């Protein structure tokens, strides 16, 4: 089994390198935040396909941000020495990004809950329509397999072309 190639670690040795590194991390952070905001906006109004269209770009930006974050951790002392105001700016940008991620997660959780509710309601309606009624009450006929009381469910079929 081959080991994956290690990404060379960045070593910051001067102010120019520290400023460039912080600018690069903030740029990837801002781009990722913009993608998350667009995704949240689309999903919030029900345009799921458009909201999930940038998932590959989001993954690429997240990977770049995580690599930048690892390099930042590895060079924390050099960054604090050569660019302390950049560290402060990076912390503020990270706090802003954390809030954007929380908002995005809340929107995704709401969409998931709504879609699960819709599917459950649809399945209940389909099962109710397939249940025979006797004198206005839902009833179950005897099972040919001797398992009385076991609800008979029908498969749920969804059309993606609608």
What is the per-residue pLDDT for 60? Answer: 96
* 84 part of a folded domain: yes
* 138 part of a folded domain: no
Tally of domains within the chain? 1
Tell me: pLDDT of 1 over 80. no
What is the per-residue pLDDT for 162? Answer: 56
How many other C-beta atoms can be found within 10 angstroms of the C-beta atom of residue 10?
17
* 158 part of a folded domain: no
Report the alpha-carbon distance of residue 22 to residue 90 in Å, rounded: 7
Q: Which domain holds residue 44?
A: 15-132
Closest CA to 51 of 61, 40, 59: 40
Closest CA to 43 of 133, 113, 104: 104
For 162, the token pair is 């609608």
Closest CA to 91 of 81, 106, 79, 78: 79
* 36 part of a folded domain: yes
What string of H, E and C letters represents the secondary structure of 113-152? HHHHHHHHHHHHHHHHHCCCEECCEECCCCCCCCCCCCCC
* 2 part of a folded domain: no
Q: Is the dihedral of CA 137, 142, 143, 146 positive or negative?
A: positive
* 147 part of a folded domain: no
Report the alpha-carbon distance of residue 108 to residue 136 in Å, rounded: 41
CA 29, chain centre distance (Å): 16
* 76 part of a folded domain: yes
**pLDDT tens by residue, 109-157:** 999 999 889 888 888 887 776 666 677 666 666 555 555 544 555 566 6
How many other C-beta atoms can be found within 10 angstroms of the C-beta atom of residue 53?
14
* 145 part of a folded domain: no
For 79, the token pair is 């960054």
The pTM is what?
Answer: 0.71
């Amino acid at each position: 089994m081959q080991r994956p190639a290690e990404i060379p670690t960045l070593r910051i040795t001067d102010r120019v390198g520290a400023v460039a590194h912080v600018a690069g991390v903030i740029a990837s952070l801002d781009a990722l935040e913009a993608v998350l905001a667009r995704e949240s906006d689309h999903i919030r109004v029900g345009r799921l396909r458009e909201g999930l269209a940038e998932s590959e770009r989001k993954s690429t930006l997240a990977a770049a941000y995580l690599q930048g974050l690892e390099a930042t951790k590895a060079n924390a002392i050099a960054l604090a020495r050569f660019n302390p105001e950049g560290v402060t700016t990076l912390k503020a940008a990270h706090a802003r990004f954390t809030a954007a991620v929380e908002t995005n997660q809340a929107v995704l959780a709401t969409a998931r809950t709504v879609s699960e509710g819709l599917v459950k309601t649809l399945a209940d309606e389909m099962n109710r329509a397939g249940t025979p009624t006797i004198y206005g009450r839902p009833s179950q006929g005897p099972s040919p397999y001797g398992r009385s009381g076991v609800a008979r469910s029908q498969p749920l079929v969804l059309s993606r072309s609608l």
